[in-house]
Structure 1
Amino acid sequence: MEGELPNIKKWIVLYPVYMNSKMTVAEGRRIGLSKACENPTCAEIGDCCSYLKLPFAIEIDKAYPRDFMQRGRVRVLLKKEDGTLYNTSITSRKSLMLHIAEMVPRHHGRAKKQEPASTSAGTSNNKPGKSGKKKR
């Protein structure tokens, strides 16, 4: 394992934007909207990589070039030094993104986050532009 760290620059890079259903292709999404998941985080992507038994490293100090406010990316190694795959079901960067996007909504930290979003907000009857006073 000691020799792998200098080669981390050769590992593939995954930004959460690549799998975010809230983004357009122009904003950086790389997989189909129907297969993408909502707002994945680097930690969730890392957990999915460890579940798939893939070596990964989270780089928090890096940002996506098209949206530099979005911090963090994940580096993943798909193949061993001899060229064999760590996980035979994942052969490419795209298949990895599709696997992760499928797993993130079922992530153990997700169930709690989704509940508050389902409550309806803004049910007041105020009409904009109308004040209570009448003109005389």
Structure 2
Amino acid sequence: MDAQLPNIKKWIVMYPVYINSKKTMAEGRRIAVAKACENPTCAEIGDCCSYLKLPFAIEIDKAYPRDFMQRGRVRVLLKTEDGTLINPSISSRKQLMLRVAEMVPRHHGRTKKQETASTSTTGPSQKSGKGGKKRR
């Protein structure tokens, strides 16, 4: 197995926090909120990498240093040993993050969850923001 894949330590690391729209830049997000997705998991990121035909490895025993309660990270191989890109449309870490963040909301595991959630919740209340007691 080790002969066909290069040293995994050289692969780029991608923590789910990097593309999480719920996190701030200080908490570790690396892309714009508008482009980020809500609470991605390592499995979803891995599925997106396999769809993009990029070799990946999920490391469950690792944690993000700024938030050590967040377990797991994904290692992805962008270039081969001789420097040729595996997927020509993705040439950098940033491009990978943007593509994965774009794909995660359409992940097959998420679409099923959202269909059941959207039927039970109601829209926002019609009450105005200015509350308080009315005086006579």
Q: TM-score range by the shorter chain?
A: 0.7 to 0.9
**Whose Rg is larger?**
1
Provide, for residues 91-132 of structure 1, a one-character-per-residue CA deviation record: whole Å limited to 9, x for no partner.
Answer: 000000000000000000001222455414xx9xxxxxxxxx
Query: Which residue does 1:67 correspond to in 2?
Result: 67
Percent of pairs with identical residues: 83
2:80 and 2:114 mapped to 1: Cα distance? 37
2:56 and 2:4 mapped to 1: Cα distance? 11
1:114 and 1:86 mapped to 2: Cα distance? 33
2:114 and 2:25 mapped to 1: Cα distance? 24
Does the CA contact (< 8 Å) of 2:21 and 2:39 recur in 1? yes
TM-score, normalised on structure 1?
0.83
| Cα RMSD for the two superposed structures | 1.9
Query: Which residue does 2:92 correspond to in 1?
Result: 92
Change (3 A) 1:47 1:83: same
Query: Which residue does 1:31 correspond to in 2?
Result: 31
What is the SS of the residue equivalent to 1:27? coil
Query: Which residue does 1:101 correspond to in 2?
Result: 101
The 5-angstrom pairing of residues 115-134 of structure 1 reads: 115=115, 117-118=117-118, 119-120=121-122
Letter of the aligned partner of 2:74 in structure 1?
A: V
2:61 and 2:87 mapped to 1: Cα distance? 28
Query: Which residue does 2:128 correspond to in 1?
Result: none
Letter of the aligned partner of 1:91 in structure 2?
A: S
Name structure 1 gaps, 5 residues minimum.
Answer: 124-136
2:52 and 2:110 mapped to 1: Cα distance? 18
How many residues are treated as equivalent by the alignment?
122
Compute the displacement of 1:62 (Å): 0.4
- After the TM superposition, which segments of 4 or more aligned residues of structure 1 sit over 6 Å from their partners? none
What is the SS of the residue equivalent to 2:7? helix
TM-score, normalised on structure 2?
0.83
Query: Which residue does 1:15 correspond to in 2?
Result: 15
2:24 and 2:115 mapped to 1: Cα distance? 25
